[in-house]
Structure 1
Amino acid sequence: MSDTELVDQLEQVWSSIAALGHELSEEEWKRPTEVPGWSVQDNLVHIYAMEAGLLGRPLERVEIPDDLPHVKNDIGRQNEMVVAARRDRTGAETLAEFEEITTARVAQLRAYGPDDFAAESWTPVGPGTVRDLLPFRVFDSWVHEQDMRRATGRPGNLESDAAAAALERVIGAMPYVIGKKAGAPEGATVVFALDGPLGRTVAIGVEGGRAKPLDAAAEQPTVRLATDTETFVRLGCGRVDPDAVVAAGAVRIDGDDLLGGRIVEAMNFLF
């Protein structure tokens, strides 16, 4: 994917978020989301806080209690300190700041040349380049947009290039989930049958002690997991209780029930 296409994805998802924000009442901005401890407004602040830092305009932080149950590590603490600093603002105020910062960030990226995209940068998985960071920003922005949309009952932006890229990132984590976290045995084959927007079939097999994508799904896989793409992403991002979605029938397991259950339980690859 080209640098221009990555910037296009960022601009698209941020435009979609802005359009959503202009529909929200103050009550909706303050609704809780599936991100523990965070409101719709908190999710928005989190999205643009990183971009503000990349523009050289880091947002202020405030001290927070040491015992917040949803803060698990130092990165989470830093995120919470920024979000907490803006909780006394209105949704409209945070939306205006979001639009100003993301507009400036898109303009900055549009002006970049090859050397700028190749420059060293922090990424969530270690040192990289600016170009390496951008797919993570698309993913993070789109996932939090969906958190905001679910909390306010406004589904949308489910078939864009940004949505497709986010889905691919979750799919790409499944060999790790199946092979390492769920401990699927040698020779096991797993099929995810995903329906809904961007639905597809994903096949993964364990060969030589490693789980890896398969070119085609086995006719009789060890386990078949059928769900919709939204539930699949929610599980991968730790947004929903695995036992609850299985009990509700949102994930259907055919074949090896025990392995299927372990996979669903292990699908959260973010934290």
Structure 2
Amino acid sequence: MSLHPTLQPYADAWTHSIEAIAELVGPLVEADWNRRTPCPGWSVRDIVSHVIGLDCEMLGDPRPIHTLPRDLFHVTNDHQRYMEMQVDVRRHHTAPEMTSELEYTVIRRNRQLRNESRDPGTKVRGPLGAELTLEESMRGHAFNVWVHEQDLRAALGSPGNLDSPGALVARDVLLERLPEVVAGRADAPRSSAIVFDVHGPVEFLRTVRVDIQGRGTVETTPALGPAATLTLDWETYVRLACGRVALESVQDRVKAEGDPELTAAILRHFTVTP
């Protein structure tokens, strides 16, 4: 038995991103591990710790028994507390300890993927005990690791891989969440259409149509006379959607046409990651 074809793109995306991360952090001196990243409260070391922790949980390892300090002001909810555990337990690890654990974890995960024969619909445990299908779990994991690769690249001044296999997974994940942004959070008018025109390493033109019941769907067909059109580059789209940047700092990279109140509401609610 081998990995189901449905799962292979997510395994490939993870492999590409994790190898890029290992290559990025391998030569870093100790001080570089303390550089700030776009994730509030997290350094380069913290991002790598988080990635290691995510993969350890994919392997089924027990979570660390650890008490978080009370002065972590960026930790404000249960989801953040859950994610912080794997990070804080490694906060005093040295650079060689970090790279060694990353390398060992990648070896173990590669072995797991080579032996993976379960059906994509198999139920597995996700973060905070949530029940997911194996496909949902691997897809979300590929997305997370690529986003964190981009966090590290931003912190280290080493841009790249904006069109990698992980980027294509991220595109699909973020597009799936657009209807909730437009129809749910921004409360776009019923029977309206909003166009997203994204250019750069990953290009797409998508229309979110809101039906008479207020439900949104993503379509590939362009809309005639949309209520609003948002044009931006792929990197800015990702940074906004993942909450890595404030709108005010990239406003000049976003072209908004149509109903100004609607476009403002969409952009205000654009972040879809926890």
- Whether 1:222 aligns to 2:212 is no
Show CA shifts across 1:40-87 (max 9, x none): 110111011122233343463532234533112223113212211211
Preserved contact between residue 10 and residue 169 of structure 2 (Cα < 8 Å): no
Percent identity between the aligned chains?
34
Greater shift in the superposed pair: 206-215 or 130-139:
206-215
- Whether 1:157 aligns to 2:161 is yes
Q: 1:123 to 1:59 in 2, by over 3 A?
A: closer
Correspondent of 1:128 among 132, 147, 151: 132
- Tell me how large the CA RMSD over aligned residues is: 2.0
Secondary structure of the 1:86 match is coil
Letter in 2 for 1:49: G
TM-score for the superposition, normalised by structure 2: 0.90
Preserved contact between residue 64 and residue 86 of structure 2 (Cα < 8 Å): yes
Q: 1:104 to 1:30 in 2, by over 3 A?
A: same
Summarize the alignment of residues 237-248 of structure 1 with structure 2, pairs less than 5 Å apart: 237-246=242-251
Which residue is 1:186 aligned to?
Answer: 190
Secondary structure of the 2:176 match is helix
- Whether 1:107 aligns to 2:123 is no
Show CA shifts across 1:131-187 (max 9, x none): 321001101101111111011110112111111011211111111100000000012
- Whether 1:91 aligns to 2:90 is no
Summarize the alignment of residues 1-271 of structure 1 with structure 2, pairs less than 5 Å apart: 2-58=6-62, 60-66=64-70, 68-114=72-118, 118-124=121-127, 126-208=130-212, 209-246=214-251, 249-271=252-274
Number of equivalent positions: 268
Measured after TM superposition, the shift of residue 224 of structure 1 is: 1.1
Letter in 2 for 1:226: T
Preserved contact between residue 9 and residue 165 of structure 2 (Cα < 8 Å): no
Q: Which runs of 5+ in 1 are unaligned?
A: none
Letter in 1 for 2:58: L
Measured after TM superposition, the shift of residue 243 of structure 1 is: 3.1
Q: Which runs of 5+ in 2 are unaligned?
A: none
- Which structure 1 residue ranges, 4+ long, deviate > 4 Å from structure 2? none
Preserved contact between residue 191 and residue 211 of structure 2 (Cα < 8 Å): yes
Show CA shifts across 1:105-143 (max 9, x none): 12112112135x554312359312323210011011011
Q: 1:215 to 1:78 in 2, by over 3 A?
A: closer
TM-score for the superposition, normalised by structure 1: 0.91
Inter-partner Cα distance in structure 1 for 2:154 and 2:77: 26
Preserved contact between residue 47 and residue 148 of structure 2 (Cα < 8 Å): yes
Letter in 2 for 1:262: A
Q: 1:6 to 1:215 in 2, by over 3 A?
A: closer
